[in-house]
């Protein structure tokens, strides 16, 4: 499936150019599919001769299953008689979702009855012919996030009862659509988002707060579109595929309350601005609840889920001769601690002589205390590497299916990292102390030096994290 310009597993260098180091393997991805065309040293990625090659194949299978070119077209609604389709949307997969929709309707001669625009992350834009794609900030919103949300609310409010509003939604929409409630400045909301990201709060808790500070989240986009019919097609990136958490639920009812949002602020000791505190105490900022008549003409469909991608990944591992154990698609927790726990599981399996692949999804968190770079997948991988301590026969990959794992919020940030039996040995040869890098939250720095960064750029989908540990006794 189309997955960006290129992807690679990199070693000490972040450059996609081959080097002479045998642990650095390159995988290029062309515009039509994932195609292995070469590597540096050894047998090469895609040859089937290494655990690292298999890890790449597993990751590719998970991403391809959730790519909009495959999962969106079967769910696209018909153009209503006497009306039009207005497409809006936001998320890391929004660009590829709108490309799939545009091709679908154009191929049926209906392109002139479909209009709209979507918002995606900076660096994720794709070429289109009629439907506009705009870019905004993620993981922290920027001015473009505010403009995009305001334009979306204005557009759906103009839809008539014979029109259909098609909302294409995927992970990342919470930041990409920022519409602060009255009395809350953009600067205050942006600062709060950064505090929440560094606090260790779960994504569900962050979204609870976001919904109650927004004019578009918590069902309020659906309310703005009423009385037009509204269909949401969603790619899930959240635990348990909760519609209220995907993009903070702009088109569905919200079961949480202002009181719960205030409790999140207290629980994590966040020093919120006075205007934030006031807004979370204002009953007019409560979200739409189940049964609200403004949601009567809104429907919601999942087109891709983390579980489906995990199942596709597990099928690849089984074909390669591994027994598979899917630990769940909704794992949460501190990334380094989950990495250590999974490392202990892998070591136990090795002692039992099992040839097994341990797979998991979900969204882990990082409580930031240092000043390094990296996201939850890289921190998980570093915690895992320390726990494994170079044990032979165990290799792993942890990467975000959107192609970007934390970092500076740039489209060329790493997707995650690979751990192999030589990871810590290479680090010691280069005077890299794994524990010290973990203490600084500098997992990117560690894997850039020791080898193993996964870099692929935007994959144009997002079903959250994929973690795979291969145990071969």
Tell me the H-state helices in 83-219. Answer: 94-106, 143-157, 173-176, 186-199, 203-211
| CA angle in degrees (0–180, nearest 5) for 399-313-101 | 80
Residue 175 CB neighbours (<10 A): 26
Q: How confident is the model at residue 19, as a pLDDT?
A: 25
Residues 169 and 1: their CA atoms lie apart, in Å, by 20
Residues 429 and 449: their CA atoms lie apart, in Å, by 10
Model pLDDT for residues 372-383, shown as the tens digit of each residue? 899 999 999 999
Q: How confident is the model at residue 37, as a pLDDT?
A: 25
CATH 3.40.50.10180 for domain 80-179+214-253+288-304: yes
pLDDT for 22 beyond 60: no
Structure tokens given for 213 = 């500070």
Q: Are the C-beta atoms of residues 396 and 55 closer than 8 Å to each other? A: yes
Model confidence at 3, in pLDDT bands (50, 70, 90)?
Answer: very low
Indicate the average pLDDT of the chain: 87
Model pLDDT for residues 28-37, shown as the tens digit of each residue? 222 223 323 2
Peptide bond into 308 cis (omega under 30): no
Residues 416 and 56: their CA atoms lie apart, in Å, by 12
53 backbone dihedrals φ, ψ, rounded to 5°:
-65, -40
Q: How confident is the model at residue 372, as a pLDDT?
A: 86
Beta pairing, strands 416-419 & 453-455: antiparallel
Q: Would the pTM count as exceeding 0.85? A: no
Q: How confident is the model at residue 11, as a pLDDT?
A: 36
Mean pLDDT of all residues in 284-300: 96
Model confidence at 407, in pLDDT bands (50, 70, 90)?
Answer: low
Mean pLDDT of all residues in 10-21: 30
Q: Give CA 287 to chain center in angstroms.
A: 25
Which residues are CB-contacts of 78 (< 8 A; sequence separation ≥ 6)?
none
Residue 358 CB neighbours (<10 A): 23
DSSP state for residue 300 in the 8-state scheme: E
**Residue reference for tokens 């039996």:** 421
Nearest to 65 by CA among 424, 278, 314, 275: 314
Residues 387 and 290: their CA atoms lie apart, in Å, by 45
Question: In which region does residue 255 sit, left (phi positive, over 0), alpha (psi from -120 to 50) or beta (all else)?
Answer: alpha
pLDDT for 335 beyond 90: yes
Cα 427 to Cα 25, 376, 451, distances in angstroms: 18, 20, 8
Structure tokens given for 231 = 């269909």
Model confidence at 416, in pLDDT bands (50, 70, 90)?
Answer: very high
Mean pLDDT of all residues in 80-91: 95
pLDDT for 411 beyond 60: yes
- CATH 3.40.1480.10 maps onto the chain at 7-66+306-471
Q: How confident is the model at residue 253, as a pLDDT?
A: 97
Mean pLDDT of all residues in 237-249: 90
Tell me the H-state helices in 320-398. Answer: 335-351, 376-388
Model pLDDT for residues 40-80, shown as the tens digit of each residue? 222 223 333 589 999 999 999 999 999 999 999 999 999 99
Beta pairing, strands 323-326 & 356-360: parallel
| CA angle in degrees (0–180, nearest 5) for 114-116-122 | 135
Q: In what order do the strands lie in the sheet with 164-170?
A: 132-136, 114-121, 85-90, 164-170, 229-235, 298-304
**Which one is predicted more confidently, 93 or 13?**
93
Residues 234 and 243: their CA atoms lie apart, in Å, by 8
How is domain 7-66+306-471 classified at the CATH fold level? glycerate kinase, domain 1 (3.40.1480)
**Which one is predicted more confidently, 413 or 231?**
231
Nearest to 322 by CA among 359, 364, 367, 370: 359
Greatest mean pLDDT among 170-174, 198-202, 462-466, 467-471 lies in 467-471
Question: Could you tell me which residues are beta bridge partners of residue 229?
Answer: 164
Q: How confident is the model at residue 14, as a pLDDT?
A: 30
Model confidence at 200, in pLDDT bands (50, 70, 90)?
Answer: confident
DSSP state for residue 77 in the 8-state scheme: P
Q: How confident is the model at residue 358, as a pLDDT?
A: 98
Mean pLDDT of all residues in 420-442: 95
Mean pLDDT of all residues in 407-428: 89
Which helix or strand (DSSP H or E) is residue 426 part of? helix 423-429
Q: Give CA 232 to chain center in angstroms.
A: 18
Mean pLDDT of all residues in 386-398: 97
3-state secondary structure of 230: strand
Question: Could you tell me which residues are beta bridge partners of residue 79?
Answer: none
3-state secondary structure of 329: coil
């Amino acid at each position: 499936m189309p997955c960006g310009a290129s992807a690679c597993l990199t070693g000490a260098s972040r450059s996609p150019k081959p080097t002479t180091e045998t642990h650095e393997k390159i995988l290029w991805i062309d515009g039509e599919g994932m195609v292995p065309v070469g590597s540096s040293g050894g047998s090469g990625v895609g040859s089937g001769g290494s655990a690292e090659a298999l890890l790449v194949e597993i990751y590719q299978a998970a991403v391809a299953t959730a790519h909009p070119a495959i999962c969106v077209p079967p769910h696209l609604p018909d153009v209503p008689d006497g009306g039009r389709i207005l497409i809006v949307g936001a998320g890391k997969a929004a660009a590829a979702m709108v490309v799939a929709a545009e091709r679908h309707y154009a191929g049926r001669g209906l392109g002139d009855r479909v209009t709209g625009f979507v918002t995606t992350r900076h660096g994720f834009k794709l070429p289109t012919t009629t439907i506009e794609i705009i870019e905004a900030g993620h993981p922290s919103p920027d001015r473009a996030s505010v403009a995009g949300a305001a334009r979306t609310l204005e557009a759906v409010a103009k839809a008539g009862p014979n029109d259909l509003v098609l909302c294409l939604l995927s992970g990342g929409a919470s930041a990409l659509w920022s519409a602060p409630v009255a009395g809350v400045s953009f600067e205050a909301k942006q600062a709060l988002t950064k505090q929440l990201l560094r606090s260790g709060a779960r994504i569900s808790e962050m979204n609870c707060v976001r919904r109650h500070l927004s004019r578009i989240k918590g069902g309020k986009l659906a309310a703005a579109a009423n009385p037009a019919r509204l269909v949401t097609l969603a790619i899930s990136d959240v635990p348990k595929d909760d519609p209220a958490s995907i993009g903070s639920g702009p088109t569905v009812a919200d079961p949480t309350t202002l009181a719960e949002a205030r409790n999140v602020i207290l629980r994590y000791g966040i020093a919120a601005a006075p205007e934030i505190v006031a807004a979370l105490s204002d009953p007019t900022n409560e979200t739409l609840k189940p049964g609200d008549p403004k949601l009567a003409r809104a429907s919601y469909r999942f087109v891709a889920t983390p579980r489906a991608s995990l199942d596709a990944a597990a099928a690849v591992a089984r074909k390669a001769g591994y027994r598979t154990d899917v630990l769940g698609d909704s794992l949460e927790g501190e990334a380094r601690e989950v990495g250590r726990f999974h490392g202990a599981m892998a070591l136990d399996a090795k002692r039992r002589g099992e040839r097994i692949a341990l797979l998991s999804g979900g969204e882990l968190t990082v409580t930031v205390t240092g000043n390094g770079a990296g996201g939850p997948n890289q921190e998980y991988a570093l915690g895992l590497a320390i726990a494994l301590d170079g044990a032979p026969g165990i290799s792993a990959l942890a990467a975000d299916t959107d192609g970007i794992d934390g970092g500076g919020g740039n489209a060329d940030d790493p997707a995650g990292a690979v751990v192999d039996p030589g990871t810590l040995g290479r680090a010691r040869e280069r005077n890299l102390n794994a524990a010290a890098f973990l203490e600084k939250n500098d997992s990117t720095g560690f894997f850039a030096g020791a080898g193993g960064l996964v870099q692929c750029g935007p994959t144009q989908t997002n079903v959250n994290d994929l973690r795979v540990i291969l145990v071969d006794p």
